[in-house]
Amino acid sequence: MSFDSLGLSTEILRAIAEQNYHEPTPIQLKAIPVVLSGKDLMAGAQTGTGKTAGFTLPMLQILSSSTGRGRRPLRALVLTPTRELAAQVSESIQTYGKYLPLRSTVIYGGVNINPQIKAIRAGLDILVATPGRLLDHVSQGTLDLSKIEILVLDEADRMLDMGFIHDIKRILALLPTRRQNLLFSATFSEDIKNLANRLLNNPVSVSAAHNTAATGVDQLIHPVDRERKRELLSYLIKVGRWQQVLIFTRTKHGANRLSQQLERDGISSAAIHGNKSQGARTKALAGFKSGDVRALVATDIAARGIDIDKLPHVVNYELPHVAEDYVHRIGRTGRAGRDGSAVSLVCVDEHKLLEGIERLLKTKIDKEVITGFEPDPRAIAEPIPNGRNRMATGNNGRSGPSRRVAGSTSSNPGRSRGGQQDRDYSSGGSSKKPQSRRRGMSGPTTNR
Ligand code: AMP
């Protein structure tokens, strides 16, 4: 089925054709007609499925078909959990809406608020925002949300995980009651269902690849001793001649350390996580995209929304505490139907985490022992410190993954609410935090 049959305008179809999208992805096929019909939508879709175009294309269509001349009120709001995702959604809106007379901008924390205020004052149809910075604008009186017609909550599960529920409630209270609501989430916990009940009015539910690994991704486990993971990783990168690899660690400290070690092994590398300034993150990502940085080491939250065209390799240097995060991680590769490889280096400590992941995927992942890196069969599992709990006890996530924390016994503790160690990552716009003077990734821009 082609995009032509979805009832989108010629301007939108032209912009899609320029992206070389030949046909809609499954979530786009399901979501676009629902959104165009004006109904509320509850969509189960992870990143990599084309979900952004799934809500952006019909939203652009609706807004452009009822656009008056002159100054218009803000009519559409997209909330995202992280700055990177906000920037990418905004970029998509500009890409797909390039032939439409609509104006959009993105606001998030960690960057100077003044250019954002200027962009809002100039008049906007669509705003993409992280919750903290949005509320900063509201409290400064620079933003009026009373004319919002369409609200999108993107990656709603992640927003709840990051403790944004109170911010979301405050934002909902500022919106008009009559509006169209679109909720996108990769997973559907009780909390998400409660939010959906409160938010959505008689919604249509659609889903694509819910809780399953992205198709087209080759998954492989390399069993290895915990002390030899770094050595094995360098070996795989060098022998496989991987030129662009995204590597996940559980902690920010672990990401820094691994990145430095890879550099010492002669592999150009950068780390991206919540303790890095927005400028450093933007630089690392740009270097990775351009090919200057061969290995980008990231924590889970920092990697949300990283969308790199044709990213060939993802490595789980450490398995995540939460099984769903594995699905998000490997969704960075094999995006929109392309092939990709996801390799996990698994030591004896992580067998329980692996079981949880395989339970979620409802499949066993193939294992391959690399010659010369055979794990010691007598190795005894040690407990894995849970960074999220450490944050809650005030330790600030300082100890690395290989340091064992006495008394920490939880190897698969499930999601904690609001105590995630990377929470600062996208809530940096809170008015309580000092404002950085640095400009944004792409800065607020308008889409004329
Ligand atoms: P998303 O799940 O929204 O993060 O999108 C994942 C990737 O798929 C992005 O790089 C999009 O540019 C790409 N994409 C979205 N829709 C299509 C499509 N219909 N055909 C091919 N690629 C697409």
According to DSSP, the residues that pair with 221 across neighbouring strands are 344, 367
Average pLDDT for residues 230-255, to the nearest whole number?
94
Q: What is the pLDDT of residue 401?
A: 29
- Strands 180-185 and 150-153 come out as parallel
Judge if 225 and 187 occupy the same domain.
Answer: no
- CA–centroid distance, residue 351 to ligand 1 (Å): 33
State yes or no: pLDDT of 87 exceeds 80: yes
State yes or no: pLDDT of 58 exceeds 70: yes
Nearest-angstrom CA–CA distance, 26 and 207: 9
Judge if 222 and 204 occupy the same domain.
Answer: no
- E-strand stretches of 124-179: 126-129, 150-153
Q: What is the pLDDT of residue 336?
A: 54
State yes or no: pLDDT of 174 exceeds 90: yes
State which of 298, 329, 361 marks the end of a domain: 361
- Strands 313-316 and 245-248 come out as parallel
- Strands 150-153 and 340-346 come out as unpaired
Task: Tally Cβ neighbours within 10 Å of residue 337.
Answer: 13
Nearest-angstrom CA–CA distance, 335 and 332: 6
- CA–centroid distance, residue 88 to ligand 1 (Å): 11
Least confident of 129-143, 222-236, 250-264, 278-292: 278-292
Atom number of ligand 1 nearest to Cα 49: 2
Q: How many angstroms from the chain centroid is the CA of residue 17?
A: 25
Asked, for residue 338, whether it belongs to a domain, the answer is: yes
| Encoded amino acid at 96, one letter | Y
State yes or no: pLDDT of 241 exceeds 70: yes
For residue 218, name the pLDDT band (cuts at 50, 70, 90).
confident
Q: What is the pLDDT of residue 216?
A: 64
Judge if 164 and 291 occupy the same domain.
Answer: no
Kindly report the length of the chain: 448
Could you tell me what percent of the chain has a pLDDT over 90? 58
Give the closest residue (by CA) to ligand 1 atom 21: 21
Give the closest residue (by CA) to ligand 1 atom 19: 24
Do residues 248 and 299 make contact, with C-beta atoms less than 8 angstroms apart? yes
Pull the structure tokens for residue 263.
Answer: 């550099």
| Encoded amino acid at 73, one letter | P
State yes or no: pLDDT of 173 exceeds 60: yes
| Mean predicted lDDT score pLDDT of the chain | 82
Asked, for residue 381, whether it belongs to a domain, the answer is: no
Asked, for residue 168, whether it belongs to a domain, the answer is: yes
- CA–centroid distance, residue 22 to ligand 1 (Å): 11
C-alpha distances in Å from residue 119, one per residue of 145, 226, 343: 15, 50, 43
Helices (H), 240-313: 252-264, 278-290, 300-303
Asked, for residue 282, whether it belongs to a domain, the answer is: yes
- CA–centroid distance, residue 251 to ligand 1 (Å): 29
Could you tell me what percent of the chain has a pLDDT over 70? 79
According to DSSP, the residues that pair with 152 across neighbouring strands are 78, 182
Nearest-angstrom CA–CA distance, 365 and 344: 10
Judge if 101 and 232 occupy the same domain.
Answer: no
Q: What is the pLDDT of residue 138?
A: 96
User: According to the per-residue pLDDT averaged within each range, which of 48-52, 205-209, 333-337 is highest?
Assistant: 48-52
Asked, for residue 411, whether it belongs to a domain, the answer is: no
According to DSSP, the residues that pair with 180 across neighbouring strands are 150
State yes or no: pLDDT of 1 exceeds 80: no
Atom number of ligand 1 nearest to Cα 336: 8
Q: How many angstroms from the chain centroid is the CA of residue 326?
A: 13
Average pLDDT for residues 30-46, to the nearest whole number?
94
Asked, for residue 103, whether it belongs to a domain, the answer is: yes
Judge if 274 and 341 occupy the same domain.
Answer: yes
For the chain, the domain total comes to 2
Nearest-angstrom CA–CA distance, 361 and 141: 46
Atom number of ligand 1 nearest to Cα 88: 4
For residue 91, name the pLDDT band (cuts at 50, 70, 90).
very high
Judge if 30 and 124 occupy the same domain.
Answer: yes
Q: What is the pLDDT of residue 317?
A: 97
Nearest-angstrom CA–CA distance, 256 and 273: 9
Judge if 62 and 20 occupy the same domain.
Answer: yes
Average pLDDT for residues 380-403, to the nearest whole number?
46
Average pLDDT for residues 360-383, to the nearest whole number?
91
Asked, for residue 403, whether it belongs to a domain, the answer is: no
Q: What is the pLDDT of residue 115?
A: 96
The DSSP letter of residue 367 is B
Nearest-angstrom CA–CA distance, 242 and 418: 36
> 102: closest CA among 180, 201, 9, 169?
9
State yes or no: pLDDT of 162 exceeds 80: yes
For residue 304, name the pLDDT band (cuts at 50, 70, 90).
low
Judge if 90 and 200 occupy the same domain.
Answer: yes
End-to-end CA gap in the chain = 30
Least confident of 43-47, 92-96, 123-127, 311-315: 43-47
For residue 307, name the pLDDT band (cuts at 50, 70, 90).
low
Give the CATH number of the domain where residue 165 resides: 3.40.50.300
Asked, for residue 417, whether it belongs to a domain, the answer is: no
Judge if 300 and 195 occupy the same domain.
Answer: no
According to DSSP, the residues that pair with 79 across neighbouring strands are 129, 153
Judge if 102 and 248 occupy the same domain.
Answer: no
Q: What is the pLDDT of residue 338?
A: 58
User: According to the per-residue pLDDT averaged within each range, which of 45-54, 145-154, 316-325, 409-418 is highest?
Assistant: 145-154
State which of 152, 175, 208 marks the end of a domain: 208
Judge if 35 and 122 occupy the same domain.
Answer: yes
Task: List the domain range (segments joined by +) for residue 226.
Answer: 217-361
Half-sphere exposure (CA, 13 Å, Cβ side) for 238?
Answer: 11
Pull the structure tokens for residue 166.
Answer: 């109170």
Least confident of 145-154, 174-183, 246-255: 246-255
Nearest-angstrom CA–CA distance, 330 and 340: 9
Average pLDDT for residues 26-37, to the nearest whole number?
94
- Provide CB contacts within 8 A for 407, sequence distance 6+: none
Atom number of ligand 1 nearest to Cα 21: 20
Give the closest residue (by CA) to ligand 1 atom 9: 50
For residue 168, name the pLDDT band (cuts at 50, 70, 90).
very high
State which of 160, 177, 208 marks the end of a domain: 208
- CA–centroid distance, residue 310 to ligand 1 (Å): 11
Nearest-angstrom CA–CA distance, 292 and 289: 8
Judge if 280 and 161 occupy the same domain.
Answer: no
State yes or no: pLDDT of 148 exceeds 70: yes
Q: What is the pLDDT of residue 277?
A: 79
Using CB distances shorter than 6 Å, the residues near ligand 1 are 21, 24-25, 28, 47-53, 307, 309, 335-336
